[in-house]
Amino acid sequence: SGESSHAEGNNTTASGYCSHAEGYNATASGGYSHAEGYNAVASGFYSHAGGINSEAKAEASFAHGEHAVSNYRGGAAFGISNKTKEALLVVGNGSPGGSYESDALVLDDGGNLWVAGSIKCGGDSGGYTLPPATADTLGGVMIGDNISVTADGVISVNLSAYLKNTDIADWAKAESKPVYTAEEVGAAEKNHTHNMSDITDMPEWTKTENKPAYTASEVGLGNVDNTADIDKPISTATQTALDGKADTGHTHTVSDITDMPAYLTQETDPTVPAWAKAKNKPTYTADEVGAAKRNTHITCRISQICQNGRKPRISLLIRQARSERQQRQILLRR
């Protein structure tokens, strides 16, 4: 039905522009598409589908086989029931009925080739040699001495030439032991020390069940129990300071007084000299010591006696005068 299209066979359809369908129930719906075989469908422009139940859905795609499907522009699908639909090249190895899909080989758009099985070469390789394998490059390796590889690719190493398999029960019986440093095996040096901070399970002293007992002499305190406080040593600086001090109960003699007044005698008697022994006594007036003048006081006494109408007694007046002098002397002594 498409312009310039062509359909032939049984129940075929060519609906795309310049399309071609042939076989049984084949459909070519894409422009310039071609479908052939049984239930083949070519729906993409310039696509081609052939075989049984194959589909070429993308532009310029190609699908051929049984349930082969290509949905990638310019891609091709071959084989049976391929799983990958979008790839440059895919070869399926699924079930013929289409119930199980699988890929035997896939070439993606990045140029990567994926192989489900093993790559095997038969006959002459044409002189091609794999490059040596390195830590960063995949390549070939050569089997050395005492190494074998089975057909399944299992590598085995025979060390009997280096280690004796008989009469060796433990490490101590090995004839040639390798030598390692403490640093190489993660151990401490034989002669090493520890700090308290290195001990993680040190119990508190108060929680220790069995505390050691020490005598005073063992800890350098042999005199701690028999030395009186007064006999305990003091520093030189403290002793020097104490030597310049006097005892609290000390006494002085008169000769120790450097500013003794001139009117006091400088005697060696430890007691303070009596007032009567002073060489130069100070002189005070009656007003300075709070006393009345002697003449006024006597006159007052006489006037009082005369006012009573009696004659004064000379002996009484003398006694009173003596008494006044004694009182003044007592005041001066004080």
Residue 9 exposure: Cα atoms within 13 Å on the Cβ side: 21
Number of domain units in the chain = 2
Q: Given CA atoms 74, 79, 81, 82 in this order, what sign does their dihedral have?
A: negative
The pLDDT value recorded for residue 55 is 96
Between CA 55 and CA 47 the distance in angstroms is 9
Helix, strand or coil for residue 323?
helix
Question: Nearest-CA neighbor of 48 among 39, 156, 36?
Answer: 36
**Structural domain ending residue among the three candidates 82, 114, 146:** 114
**Structural domain ending residue among the three candidates 114, 136, 171:** 114
109 inside domain: yes
The pairing of beta strand 48-52 with beta strand 62-66? parallel
What range defines the domain where residue 278 resides? 261-334
14 inside domain: yes
Question: Which amino acid, residue 322?
Answer: R
- CA–chain centroid gap for 224, Å, is 45
Helix, strand or coil for residue 261?
coil
CA distances from 242 to 147, 234, 239, 251 (A): 95, 11, 5, 18
Global confidence as pTM: 0.41
Q: What is the CATH number of the domain that holds 17?
A: 2.150.10.10
Between CA 93 and CA 67 the distance in angstroms is 10
The pLDDT value recorded for residue 297 is 47
Question: Which amino acid, residue 110?
Answer: G
318 inside domain: yes
The pLDDT value recorded for residue 300 is 47
Asked whether 70 and 57 are in contact (CB, 8 A), the reply is yes
The answer for residues whose C-beta is within 8 angstroms of residue 289's C-beta and 6 or more apart is 328, 331, 332
Question: Nearest-CA neighbor of 70 among 50, 59, 55, 53?
Answer: 55
**Structural domain ending residue among the three candidates 88, 114, 140:** 114
Show the tokens assigned to 258: 């450097």
The pairing of beta strand 6-10 with beta strand 76-80? unpaired
N-to-C CA span, the chain: 162
246 inside domain: no
Residues of the chain with pLDDT under 70: 121-128, 161-170, 172-174, 206, 223-227, 261-280, 292-334
52 inside domain: yes
159 inside domain: no
Q: What is the pLDDT of residues 53-65, one digit of tens each?
A: 999 999 999 999 9
241 inside domain: no
Q: What is the pLDDT of residues 24-53, one digit of tens each?
A: 999 999 999 999 999 999 999 999 999 999
306 inside domain: yes
